[in-house]
Amino acid sequence: VAIDYGMKWNIPRHLKQLGCKVTVLPGNCTAAEVMELNPDGVFLSNGPGDPEPLTYAIDTIRELLGQVPIFGICLGHQLLGLACGCKTFKLKFGHRGANQPVINHATGQVEITSQNHGFAIDPETKPDDVEITHINMNDNTVAGLRHKTHPAFSVQYHPEASAGPHDSHYLFQQFFESISQARVSS
């Protein structure tokens, strides 16, 4: 299931290329509506604006945590962070456009990313069960996180945008692999 908060349509295309059947639900869907579809995973899309007023989305994501693998980008990243207990803040200068360098803490590699957002996760509010996985090298803001006990992760940038030499396409594969692992475990 892809929850649409303002989704770019090349995102479902990337998921379909991995063999996923994608059902799109509106951003105001409930966790019960998502789970009625018996999804293997949930994708949280990008979208505009301040994530904190979207309490309906935060509540839905909080209910879904631990039930299915979750992958979020951009606004979906911020909403996942809020659902996990983080806070967000308005950036003094939003991140707009390509060529935003992000370091992946797991690999130590720098990824050149495309970003378009005016809010970010406040790392000082991160609970113990959340790990920061990526940092924007321009201003040291959080660019990725994962939940330590639930199969849920997100990035602030747009892996579907193909900035650089497809630096971040691996994230779609990582989501697909977390779905496969969840199937084996259940």
What pLDDT shows up at residue 145?
Answer: 98
What pLDDT shows up at residue 165?
Answer: 44
Instruction: Give the pair of three-digit tokens for residue 49.
Output: 């604006």
What pLDDT shows up at residue 162?
Answer: 59
Q: What is the mean pLDDT of each run of 10 residues along the chain (186 residues)?
A: 93 88 97 98 97 98 98 98 99 91 95 94 98 97 98 93 63 84 78
Helices and strands (H and E) in the chain: how many: 5, 9
What pLDDT shows up at residue 10?
Answer: 85
Burial environment of residue 147 by CB neighbours within 10 A (0 to 12, 13 to 18, 19 or more): buried
The whole-angstrom separation of Cα 87 and Cα 98 is 25
Question: How many domains is the chain partitioned into structurally?
Answer: 1
What pLDDT shows up at residue 166?
Answer: 61
The whole-angstrom separation of Cα 186 and Cα 172 is 21
- Where are the alpha helices (H) located in the chain, listed in sequence order? 10-17, 31-36, 55-64, 75-83, 170-185
Task: Let me know: does 111 contact 123? Beta carbons within 8 Å.
Answer: no
Q: Which structural domain, as residue segments, surrounds residue 118?
A: 2-185
CB burial readout 11-32, b (16+ within 10 A) else e? bbebbeeeebeeeebebebebe
Any idea what the CATH number is for the domain that residue 6 is in? 3.40.50.880
The whole-angstrom separation of Cα 185 and Cα 112 is 34
Task: Let me know: does 143 contact 59? Beta carbons within 8 Å.
Answer: no
Which residues are tagged catalytic?
A: 74, 158, 160
CA atoms within 13 A on the CB side of 47: 24
